[in-house]
C-alpha cells in the first residue's frame, strides 16, 4: 500500500513537471521570443567576418591573415557558446516553470491564443523582466569573453609586429 502511494505521488509530480515543461515551451513559441532574440543579436553581436584581409589591404604576410582568421573563428565560438538560442530557450522554459504552475502556464497560453492575447503580441510589448534579465546576464558573459579574445588577439598582433620588426 505504501509503495502505491509513493508511486502515485511520484507519477503526479512527474506529470506536472512534463506538463509545465510543455506549457513553457508552448508559451515561448507563442511569444515568439526567438525572433526577438535574433533581432537583438543582429544589433549587438560582434561581426565575425573580416571585410578584407590585412594582407590584401596592406601587403602584409600571410601570417597576419592566419591571426585574423583565428580571431574571427574564436569570436564565432564565443557567440555559439554564450548566445545560442537553444540554451536561452531552455533557461527561459525553466524560469517559466519556476514562476508559474502548470495551470497558470495553460491560462497564459489560452490568453495568448485569444484575440486580445494576439493583439498584445502584435504590439510587441514583450519586454518583461524575465527576458531582460536573461539577456543581460548572457551579454555580460559574452562581453567578458569578447574582451578576453580581443586582448588575446591584440597580444598576438603586437607579438607579430615585434617579430616582423626584429627580422
Q: Bigger pLDDT: 71 or 126?
A: 71
Is 132 inside a domain boundary? Answer: yes
Assigned domain for 72 exists? yes
pLDDT tens for 126-149 read: 556 667 777 788 888 888 999 999
On whether residue 10 sits in a domain, the answer given is no
Number of domains forming the structure of the chain: 1
Residue 61 belongs to a domain: yes
Domain membership flag for residue 3: no
In sequence order, what are the residues at sequence separation of 6 or more whose Cβ sits closer than 8 angstroms to the Cβ of residue 88? 33, 37, 134, 138
The DSSP H or E segment spanning 95 is helix 85-99
Question: Domain range spanning residue 25?
Answer: 18-166
Residue 37 lies in a domain: yes
**Amino acid 111: pLDDT:** 92
Q: Specify if 13 maps to a domain.
A: no
Amino acid at each position: 500500500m505504501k509503495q502505491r502511494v509513493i508511486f502515485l505521488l511520484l507519477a503526479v509530480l512527474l506529470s506536472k513537471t512534463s506538463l509545465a515543461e510543455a506549457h513553457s515551451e508552448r508559451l515561448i513559441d507563442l511569444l515568439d521570443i526567438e525572433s526577438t532574440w535574433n533581432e537583438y543579436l543582429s544589433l549587438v553581436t560582434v561581426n565575425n567576418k573580416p571585410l578584407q584581409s590585412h594582407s590584401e589591404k596592406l601587403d602584409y604576410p600571410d601570417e597576419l591573415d592566419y591571426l585574423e582568421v583565428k580571431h574571427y573563428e574564436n569570436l564565432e565560438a564565443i557567440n555559439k557558446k554564450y548566445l545560442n538560442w537553444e540554451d536561452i530557450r531552455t533557461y527561459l522554459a525553466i524560469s517559466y516553470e519556476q514562476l508559474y504552475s502548470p495551470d497558470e502556464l495553460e491560462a497564459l497560453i489560452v490568453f495568448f491564443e485569444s484575440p486580445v492575447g494576439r493583439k498584445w503580441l502584435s504590439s510587441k510589448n514583450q519586454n518583461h523582466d524575465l527576458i531582460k534579465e536573461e539577456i543581460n546576464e548572457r551579454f555580460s558573459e559574452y562581453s567578458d569573453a569578447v574582451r578576453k579574445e580581443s586582448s588575446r588577439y591584440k597580444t598576438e598582433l603586437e607579438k607579430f609586429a615585434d617579430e616582423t620588426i626584429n627580422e
